[in-house]
Amino acid sequence: MQTFVKPNHERLWLVVAGLLPLLLCLFFTFIEARQTGARQQEMTAAALLSQAEHISDLAWDMTDSLQTFSNRPCKDIRSQLQKLGALNPYFRSVGLTQDNTVYCSSAFGATRGPVAGMIRHALPAPGQSWWTLSLAGTFGVQDRPAVIFMRQTPGKTGSYAVVDGQYLIDLMRATGLKLGYHITMRFGGGYQIANAAPLNPQQANWKTRTFNSGSSHYPIAISISAPRTETLQNWRQVLLTFMPMAVILSVLFVAVTNSWLRRRSSYRDELRRGMAFGEFSVHYQPVCNLVNGQLAGVEALMRWQRSDGSWVRPDIFIAAAEAEGMIVQLTRHLLQLIAKDCASWKVPAGFHIGINVAADHLQHEDFVKDIRGFSQNIAHLLPTITLELTERSLISEGDLVAHRLAELRSEGIRVAIDDFGTGHCSLTYLQTFPLDYLKIDKSFVNAIESADGETPILDTIIQLAHRLALQVVAEGIETPLQMEYLKNHGVVFIQGFYYARPLSSAALMVWIEQNPPPDTSPL
């Protein structure tokens, strides 16, 4: 038994369907991981800045308290300064200055020295009443960072508080250790206090994102650099949450796509098999001329009965043929079936045979050739062939199709719009293509039987057809009232169950012989 192998394009569809949810999961979880990392950096920065602002508040409060000791001899206040420096958290030392010279401090008592020497840094521009600066070290502790908070008065006296940078380093390490952050903090544009050694160029290239922020109250700036591994860890955590769902969706997509491909393949194969094994046939619905009450012609309607006896609705198999790109093949098969039926027909010259043609066939390069071949095959009947344009799909090559229809009309073939008003391009067709007939859909005819008896759309369509010098064919006539109404409004041709149901070729010939035309006299 030969194994059925899926075509390459169908296997590609299945691969895409299976990979799509997984790839989307990878993409969106990576984006979420980056956003999570950004939020973590932002929250870390906010927490550190809050603590830095708290320490700054304490330091500025201390410098303000020290102002009460200004201009007093160091021997009188030394013990109090030592007590303030020792009992309050965070401070390395506190002290008083005169003309930018420290003259009394909690660390060195009355030992005098320039402020610049104490902080081992140039002083800010003169004239500032207060300033803060982060330092690489101080005179007393040169290997550990610090932050100085200086308040000065117009009398050139001042007070200061030095915060030990180790508090900030410990805080940054505790906050960023788990996530591997490299954090730096600067006060007043001074030295960068960091929780670890500076990143070398190679490490800097591997960081994923650097987040910079600052205090809205004090000149404090913070920078947080996250290593690439932090994003990867976040990504892994998010993947563990969403990947099972993505796998389920992947399996579901593959199943749905496979089912869809099987249906497509099934319809394509069944259409071919149906044509090859003669499962298609043509039924003909008679069309009545209300002027003389005689049979004017028929509309050819394709029918499909499978080998198991089940029928496939025309709207289903025609839509499938259009979707599968087989509507041209199916229409050619229809023309062959009609030609075969017509071989035994006995109908008067000029007998109308209406055939539905799809947009794809109209735009096919062999369309004119196909219609001419069909016309030659039934030329012995001297019929009038009417091509009925359907509106299921849009005719995009309007000028080309109009030229082809005009060429066929010059050879005696007629053109109609089928089911006028139910599609999306009726008025465009009227303007673009050379036409002979306008067929009114049964939905508008049914309005004749409505309770109020008003049919504004139907009346407008009929008037429009007359203004354009087009013959009108009304479809779906089922009652004498409908027929009489249409006759009184100038409609010449009708078709529907009231006149005759669709018939097979043999039944049509019997019907023509045995059934007289309907009584078209007034009710």
> Is position 368 within any domain?
yes
Q: What angle do CA 341, 441, 491 make, to 5 degrees?
A: 85
For residues 350 and 514, the model is more confident at: 350
> Is position 294 within any domain?
yes
Task: State whether residue 226 is helix, strand or coil.
Answer: strand
pLDDT, tens digit, 9 for 90 and up, residues 43-60? 999 999 999 999 999 999
Does the structure show a pLDDT above 80 at 512?
yes
CA-only gyration radius of the chain, Å: 46
Distance CA 500, CA 508 (A): 10
Residue 345 pLDDT grade (very low, low, confident, very high; cuts 50, 70, 90)? very high
Distance CA 457, CA 451 (A): 16
> Is position 226 within any domain?
no
Distance CA 272, CA 281 (A): 14
> Is position 112 within any domain?
no
- 241: tokens are 């949450």
Does the structure show a pLDDT above 60 at 227?
yes
> Is position 400 within any domain?
yes
Please state, as a whole number, how many other Cβ atoms lie within 10 Å of the Cβ of residue 447: 18
For residues 276 and 515, the model is more confident at: 276
* 128 Cβ neighbours under 8 A, 6+ residues apart: 152
- 479: tokens are 């009652």
pLDDT, tens digit, 9 for 90 and up, residues 83-94? 998 889 999 999
The bridge status of strand 91-98 relative to strand 280-289 is unpaired
Strand residue runs (E) in 157-268: 157-164, 182-187, 193-194, 207-214, 220-227
Distance CA 209, CA 225 (A): 6
> Is position 77 within any domain?
no
Distance CA 253, CA 13 (A): 10
Does the structure show a pLDDT above 60 at 519?
no
Distance CA 201, CA 322 (A): 62
> Do residues 131 and 139 lie in contact, with contact meaning Cβ atoms separated by under 8 Å?
no
User: What pLDDT is recorded for position 425?
Assistant: 58
User: 390 lies in which domain range?
Assistant: 285-302+326-501
Helix (H) or strand (E) holding 394: none
Compute the mean pLDDT over every residue in the chain, rounded to the nearest whole number: 87
> Region 28-33: what's the mean pLDDT?
84
> Is position 136 within any domain?
no
* 94 Cβ neighbours under 8 A, 6+ residues apart: 62, 63, 66, 81, 84, 85, 105, 106, 159, 160, 161, 162
- The domain spanning residue 378 has which CATH number? 3.20.20.450
Distance of CA 518 to the CA centre of its chain: 57
Please state, as a whole number, how many other Cβ atoms lie within 10 Å of the Cβ of residue 296: 20
pLDDT, tens digit, 9 for 90 and up, residues 417-474? 888 877 655 677 788 888 999 999 898 898 888 756 678 889 988 999 999 899 999 9
Weakest-pLDDT range from 19-33, 287-301, 481-495: 19-33
Amino acid at residue number 394: L
Helix (H) or strand (E) holding 35: helix 8-66
Q: What is the DSSP string of 272-338?
A: HHHHHTT-EEEEEEEEEETTTTEEEEEEEEEEEE-TTS-EE-HHHHHHHHHHTT-HHHHHHHHHHHH
Q: What are 289's strand-pairing partners?
A: 294, 493
Q: What is the DSSP string of 395-428?
A: ---HHHHHHHHHHHHTTT-EEEEEEETSSS-HHH
> Is position 396 within any domain?
yes
Residue 522 pLDDT grade (very low, low, confident, very high; cuts 50, 70, 90)? very low
293, 294, 296, 302 alpha-carbon torsion, rounded to 10°: 100
The bridge status of strand 352-357 relative to strand 384-389 is parallel
> Region 163-192: what's the mean pLDDT?
91
pLDDT, tens digit, 9 for 90 and up, residues 293-324? 899 999 999 999 988 888 999 988 998 898 88
Distance of CA 366 to the CA centre of its chain: 38
pTM equals 0.52
The residue to which tokens 């160029």 are assigned:
201
> Do residues 215 and 164 lie in contact, with contact meaning Cβ atoms separated by under 8 Å?
no
Number of domains comprising the chain: 1
Distance CA 323, CA 334 (A): 18
Distance CA 239, CA 24 (A): 11
Residue 7 pLDDT grade (very low, low, confident, very high; cuts 50, 70, 90)? very low
Task: State whether residue 86 is helix, strand or coil.
Answer: helix
Largest CA distance in the chain: 139
Closest CA to 404 of 360, 467, 362: 362
Does the structure show a pLDDT above 50 at 521?
no
First to last CA, the chain: 68
